[in-house]
Amino acid sequence: MQDNRQQELEAIAKRFGLSVGFVEAALSVKQAGTVAEKVEAFARERRLIEQGNPEAVARQHEKGRLTARERIDALADDGDFEELDSWHRPYETGFDIGEEAGQGDGVVIGHGTIDGRPVTIWAQDATVMDGTIGTVHARKVTMIMENALNARTPIIGIFDSQGLRAHDAIQYPDFYSFGSMAHFQTLASGVIPKIGLVMGPCSGELAIIAGLCDFIFMVRNTSYMYLMPPASSIDSQRLGDPWAVHAKIGSCDVLVENEKDCLLRCRQLLSYLPSSNTEGPPLVDTGDDPNRWEEELLEIVPVDSSKPYDMYKVVSLIVDNGEFFEIKRYFARNLITGFARLGGHTVGILASNPQSLGGCMTLDAADKMSRFVRFCDAFNIPLVWLCDTPAFLPAVDEETRGLIRHGSRMIMANSEATVPQITVTTRRRIGGGGLAMPGQCLGGDLLVAWPTFQSGLMGAEGAVAIMHRKQLAAISDETLRKQQEEKWIEEMQWGLDMQVREATQKIIDPRDTRPFLIKALKWLRNKKQDLPQKKHENFRM
């Protein structure tokens, strides 16, 4: 009798792609005679779903990766995640998708809190059919995206999938597909923060969905993204490690060492961001004195513009507790971007990096700046520029790759920003650097400088080389020519030094930078600026 019972359970389990234990739990719901018994029976079903297939879970752990629910548990506040649609299963297509299809269709969705603030989360479950995307999977993700948009909460997507499930392709409807996921990613842009954690494979159209996030995290050695996977081992070698490649070309915003660090860093990033574009960023009591002076700032920047210095050190000495959350660290390293706090309020920091290309602007740096500026402007985050740039990099490669097009897009982003904007020039703001690090003519609110400030269309040496080229060439004696050149440079430098007083609104003591910024941002906190009405801008791609 017992054998017959077991055979019946196994037959039902195979027919519906369920475990025998789940079938037993489902039957107990049907047979329960009281509400309490039904509650317990459903709870048993839910526990079985949450524990998953032990063998598949073990395989995931062997790869050094957590399961979807383990990731969510580490990301959200303890016990504060409410999973939705956990009982949904793949639609029957007539194809064999295995005996252990499982509930959830390879994705866990729901809502919870991070630091007490509501968030929406979806996480692909690689232990269920490798996290492949079928109709139910896409429907769940699409609907939770719509929920997040309507609820005005940040949405976090955890990517770990082998892509489209071939078994579902025969009946994959457009309204629940990659297209619908991309549509809601687009609708949510500039409305709620969107964070993508690539913690496994993410290829094909799914990589585009990840690319539509505001910020993408990747994990060393275990993450990869491809729109089209390498066709051969040779192509794979040419591409290199996907996580490293995407960090260097800017597709990855935050590269982390392991999964736990990824989830922790995601929590940290969210602490700087508002829940939606209708709110201001959260105010945090950092305990750092807003009037703190830093003597080290008096000596950190060399007067000689040919000497580099550590701009990261400058940032750390100015912001609250030296804490700086950098974005796109390995891309366009001549420009530093990231989030910090001043007086407990979130600010976006954009800083020249004299240790990389002398702080020159490049087309990659222009892209990096425009994307960061547009995000901060959309989410009411004030912008602080720390400028030390000798303008755009004069290079044939830059020009032939479209420097004008990329630079124009950056200037449009800077000009359209309506949040408070303050530029502090630590040393150089030469030529086109004034467009990259905007002053009042581009919509900036304050333009101040340290005493080491140098300005002008170009340096004295370059100006003399152009203005007196013929006169210098006519002097045959090298010693006389050198003496005359030095004389003209000295005269030109005197004129440039006089321009400094007119090219900035205030010369500030470097040690006073932190108190000055905090007071200025307090003054500008209620800034309101209306731009001409239009459907949208038409910037160069």
Please state, rounded to an integer, the average pLDDT across all residues of the chain.
84
pLDDT in tens, 190-209: 999 999 999 999 988 899 99
What is the distance between the alpha carbons of residues 271 and 117, in angstroms, rounded to a whole number? Answer: 9
Across 480-489, 505-514, 530-539, least confident range: 480-489
Q: How high is the pLDDT of residue 94?
A: 47
Please tell me the CATH superfamily of domain 295-453+504-524, with its number.
2-enoyl-CoA Hydratase; Chain A, domain 1 (3.90.226.10)
Alpha-carbon 40 to chain mean position: 43
Q: How high is the pLDDT of residue 322?
A: 97
pLDDT in tens, 12-57: 555 555 665 666 656 666 666 678 877 777 777 677 777 777 788 8
Residue 328 in this model has a pLDDT that exceeds 80? yes
Q: How high is the pLDDT of residue 30?
A: 63
- Please state the pTM of the whole predicted model: 0.86
Burial class of 389 by CB neighbour count within 10 A (0 to 12, 13 to 18, 19+): buried
| pLDDT band at 337; cut points 50, 70, 90 | very high
Query: In the chain, where are the structural domains located?
Result: 1-51, 53-91+101-270, 295-453+504-524, 459-503
Strand partners, 219: 256
CATH of domain 53-91+101-270: 3.90.226.10
Beta strands 325-327 and 335-342 are: antiparallel
Residue 168 in this model has a pLDDT that exceeds 50? yes
Strand partners, 3: none
* Cβ atoms of residues 134 and 105 within 8 Å: yes
Across 59-73, 254-268, 275-289, 506-520, least confident range: 59-73
Same fold flag, 53-91+101-270 and 295-453+504-524 = yes
